[in-house]
Chain A
Amino acid sequence: KRNQCYFKRSLNVVCTSRFWFNYRHVANTLSVYRSVKRLGIPDSHIVLMLADDMACNHRNPKPATVFSHKNMELNVYGDDVEVDYRGYEVTVENFLRVLTGRLPPSTPRSKRLLSDDRSNILIYLTGHGGNGFLKFQDSEEISNVELADAFEQMWTKRRYNELLFIIDTCQGASMYERFYSPNIMALASSQVGEDSLSHQPDLAIGVHLMDRYTFYLLEFLEDIHPSSTTNMKDLFKVCPKSQCVSTPGHRTDLFLRDPGSVLITDFFGSVRKVEITTDTINLTAPMVHLEDTRPVRELRTEIQTYMDQLPVAEIIHQKPKQKDWHPPDGFILGLWTLILLVFFKTYGIKHLKHIF
């Protein structure tokens, strides 16, 4: 439609597993990252979190590579990967702070999800999960309730327009059960009680390279180009039970638009709307503002002010932190001395020897 606004795309791609035998989770994440970059989304709009370094692991027989297909057909690490959160920085706290934007002022731009109410966000999570939780780094977990609350915070702070949530873990469907914010669409690789399986081992590297769901998701995305008209309904059909062994699930009840009208490139690709006009535009005459003919959305009736996402002023002019006011120490000392003196005056000095 001609008067449809342009919505930014932002991505948060997270791999939550460490150790060499979880090679496939890093390969999953890097494959999705690579696909969206191919479709035009720049690194400044992608927050990539990888919990371990597979490319430089001592056990990697091909250093500086991460392969997603066996026989080493495709190196998804490449030479232009920008990892924003690496190693031990991938924690539940950092993940939630990235989503909600509650980061300390010193956090650089590349580590922030700079989104507003006109952003379509894609969140991809992979790792080891269970019924209602996802394991981070073998030491902590994020629960589906926490995730739902984080998304509600994002909605309240107007940090997204539409959100697509994809998760590839065991029992992944449990993670989207608790969402309650509008405009969220969710996909998972398996239902509660099912395990997501890995796809193929590589006999030279000695680990499994990819998970099934992401492998077939990637095959599907390889056919998408920036002007594709494939919609979400095709995405739901990715990896049926015959290929995936687990049953992928999806959830669209919170989404306002019909999934059939949502294009894949609304989330995965960066599409610029180009308007070709044959009229000449007079640049010297003052501009006349067109009437706002956008349909008024019922949900937003009050004037919004955007939170300052990158408070440059604060960073440059470091204001000293305001401490709480305490009465001066000497005052307290004097007060106690006064109390003691009054006590001994009243009850007599002879009690002093009982104390000393």
Chain B
Amino acid sequence: MGLLSDPNRRRALTNLLTRLNAPICVVCYLAGVMWFMGLAFEPFTLRTYMSENAMGSTMVEEHFPAGERALATGREFAAHKKKVGGMPVNWLVKTMESRGLEVFTQSFTRKLPFPDENKERYLVRGTNVYGILRAPRASRTEALVLTAPCSQGNANNQAVGLLLGLAQYFRSQVYWAKDIIFLVNEHDLIGMQAWLEGYHHTNTTGGDWSPLHGRGGSIQASLSLELSSDVITSLDLVLEGLNGQLPNLDLANLFHAFCQKIGVLCTIQGKLQRNDWESTSGYSHSAQTMMLMVLKQASGRPWGDHGLFLRYHIEAATIRGINSFRQYKTDTTTIGRLLEGMYRKLNNLLERLHQSYFFYLMPSLTRFVSIGYYMPAFGLLAVILLLRVSFHLSDRRGLGVGLTRYPGVLSILTPVVISHMTGVALYCLPVMSQEMAVQHFPVSETEAVVLTAIAIYTAGLALPHNTHRYTLPLVLKLVALLYLAVLLGCTALINFSLGFILALSLVPIAAFITPHTHKPLSAAIMVLLSPGCTLLYCVLIFQELQETPVSLQDGWMLFLSVISQGILDHSLYGSLVYPLLALLIYPCWLLLWNILFWK
């Protein structure tokens, strides 16, 4: 008979699982972590390759000549920006019209739920200016977008200059099969959100914007340009978008292909590629690059202006020019040629980019790991929860004694409802009660919001634990384990990095917490591995990986600003990380805390 159908063998298997459950869980956890770290090891990764046939292997000779003129335009833009004190709308409209584009503007206003201290804005009012280059012979069914942000101070002037230079050059060519939209957006992501919502006739985040009068058809791909210096030493590619969504890998492959052809140094996560994967330092370099991508993806915020396009199924990436202390410099004409080559290739597309992967991790610009390779790492962690469920069902020693009455399912509703109500309070109260907090305490609105959130988080630790008289801790623990398994599974499907990081910290405590473990030690471990502290560790590790390590005090300030940014991202762009943590993960952790302090 088979392994599972033979009752003797099945009993033996169950006994094995029950006896050795804890060691198997530990082994699974270590295997999951090692699998994840092994993803950065080069022999386990694949080399990137171009999957889209239409973007084929032939290259065109690029002829963009006007780098210097683009820089001059950028300087003019800077002067007008300083004169107006914001976006020089009239000058931009006139310049774009003189280049033969159809120019339109869009004005928008947005009131943030509380002032943003990082960017120092509260009531945002701005204008987006965009010009459409109509394809000379094609019908207006498809479009490509090139954007540059209008930033404050001296940032990104060269980007706008290059955008206008490319617009003039593109206008004189006859081979465009799609419309090209040149967009200069104000107030970076807020302006971009307003433009995209206006273009697609949706209003998901409650902003106020004027409707768009000019349209170019369905957008196939988009590039966002950030260039703040006349010469650069390398180009950085930013892929991570809102809610951890990534563009099609073919866009990164296209960028890399052109970097190689033109001979520009290209990086991802700001890190250069190394060739020595056998050595420890080479491996740690790839691992650091991959960890940076994981942390950025887990944060769920768009790391460039392109991040908001991905929601509309438009493949987009940001190209950032970096000027560091290297000998070999690249001038604006070369960057213009690179962009010209990329747009000519995108012009050849017949359908949206879909041949390559949408879910991947990149330890370097030429190596990637696809979802089929990295998901088992999460699977190994999730299986621990299922193993514990089976253990508790078969072995009722720890949690089953004490009560003769059969516990109903409704009896566990009380702790579940209380935890979720706390979660709802954590989600709603900080923003709603900021005024009251400002009246009573000498803090600014942003600090009030963040500190209220932390206060509610800590207050949850003091919730009453004796609301359940007629139930068993076993039932609550099973419910908590299954709930956590489903939650982490769904999160990992949408945003693998977020799901994996949460699993790393929550699975150990979910697996081993019972009312009978040593209370002070378990309480300390639970607090140290709670979602809030996980966020703090992630912030510290992120700063360490960026090679700007911070002290604990600075890390704490950064942590507070990260919380405020998370709440702002959620209300401005619809990021899901803050609601997920507040409404679902935190109540789950409270349930486990409840089990620990069972009386």
Q: Give A contacts to B, CB under 8 Å.
A: 19-21, 56-61, 63, 201, 203-208
Contact = CB atoms under 8 A, between A and B. Distances in A.
A20 B348 contact: yes
B327 interface: no
Contact of B61 (A60, A63, A204): A204
Contacts of B177: 57-59
Contacts of B137: 56, 58, 63
8 closest residue pairs by CB, A with B: A58-B177, A203-B61, A206-B60, A61-B175, A201-B58, A58-B138, A59-B177, A58-B137
A206 B173 contact: no
B175 A203 contact: no
B59 A61 contact: no
B347 to A, nearest CB: 6
B350 A19 contact: yes
A206 B138 contact: no
Residue in B60, B61, B136 with the greatest tally of chain A CB atoms within 10 Å: B60
Given A21-B53, A58-B176, A206-B348, 17 more contacts: A19-B54, A20-B54, A56-B137, A57-B177, A58-B137, A58-B138, A59-B348, A60-B175, A61-B174, A61-B175, A63-B137, A63-B174, A201-B59, A203-B60, A203-B61, A206-B58, A207-B56
Nearest to B176: A58
A206 B138 CA distance: 19
Interface string B252-271: 00000000000000000000
Interface in B168-204: 173-177
Contacts of B59: 201, 203, 206
A205 B174 CA distance: 12
Contact of B175 (A19, A56, A58, A201): A58
B568 to A, nearest CB: 43
B319 interface: no
B54 A59 contact: no
Interface residues of B, number: 20
A206 B54 CA distance: 11
Contacts of A21: 53-54, 56, 348
Given A20-B54, A59-B347, A204 B176 contact: no
Nearest to A20: B348
B344 interface: yes
B249 interface: no
B262 to A, nearest CB: 14
B135 interface: yes
Contacts of B61: 203-204
A105 to B, nearest CB: 36
A61 B173 contact: yes
28 contacts: A19-B54, A19-B350, A20-B54, A20-B348, A21-B53, A21-B348, A56-B137, A57-B177, A58-B135, A58-B136, A58-B177, A59-B175, A59-B347, A60-B175, A61-B173, A61-B174, A61-B175, A63-B137, A201-B58, A203-B59, A203-B61, A204-B61, A205-B60, A206-B344, A206-B348, A207-B56, A207-B58, A208-B58
Nearest to A56: B137
A61 B62 CA distance: 13
A206 B344 CA distance: 9
Interface in B8-57: 53-54, 56
A204 to B, nearest CB: 6
Most chain B Cβ neighbours within 10 Å, of A19, A58, A60, A205: A58
A204 B60 contact: yes
